[in-house]
Chain A
Amino acid sequence: DGGITQSPKYLFRKEGQNVTLSCEQNLNHDAMYWYRQDPGQGLRLIYYSQIVNDFQKGDIAEGYSVSREKKESFPLTVTSAQKNPTAFYLCASTIREYYGYTFGSGTRLTVV
């Protein structure tokens, strides 16, 4: 079955470390997105990519980086510059926004 897979489900990071969250889709979708969700809060867009080898900053890109070397993959790196990285991270993809997004099951990142 086609879908979008995020891994790991839970991730722990020490302060000062970079960590990379994986997002893979086999839906043949062109566009992919990363969102951050804090407890009781809505979604905030971090980065998005509408085509391979191209991506744009969202509303809260500082302290994050991404790459889009393959259509299927859109990894997110949370760098040490991100001051408050503890959150729930969601990846999404779509063939076209008109049809809505498909979301992964999320990665919960905790700084220890």
Chain B
Amino acid sequence: GNSVTQMEGPVTLSEEAFLTINCTYTATGYPSLFWYVQYPGEGLQLLLKATKADDKGSNKGFEATYRKETTSFHLEKGSVQVSDSAVYFCALSSDYGGSQGNLIFGKGTKLSVKP
């Protein structure tokens, strides 16, 4: 079945460091891929998404490229800030014009950025 695997945390970085959070997936068909961010005590917010191979999603300095050949959707940011401290979730949707399925979430990666 479909699944998402993301790197375990926590990840601790210094401000202005480069961030990579790995996410790989298993899916049939043509899934859409998502990154969500959850700040402490809040719900999840959509950070970025990509709907087809080689698409790059980007938002707030974060980027992720949909790589079908490596079944990956790694999240990157060139220079993190303290305000980026949060939990990041990778997710996929197997639905593409067909019957509705559910989003499948990774387990989340906690990022802490130190000043």
Contacts and interface: CB of A to CB of B under 8 A. Distances in A.
Interface of A: 6, 31, 33, 40-43, 45, 48, 50, 90, 92, 94, 96-106, 108
Q: Is the interface of B mostly helix, strand, loop or mixed?
A: loop
B5 to A, nearest CB: 12
Interface residues of B, number: 27
B108 A105 contact: no
Contact of B103 (A40, A97, A105): A97
Interface string B84-107: 000001010111110011110111
A45 B104 CA distance: 10
Contacts of A41: 107-108
A102 B93 CA distance: 14
B43 A103 contact: yes
B33 to A, nearest CB: 10
Contacts of A50: 100
Which of the listed residues B34, B44, B46, B105 has the most CB atoms from chain A within 10 Å of its own CB? B44
A30 B53 CA distance: 27
Nearest to B33: A100
A106 B102 contact: no
6 contacts: A45-B102, A100-B34, A100-B93, A102-B46, A105-B42, A106-B42
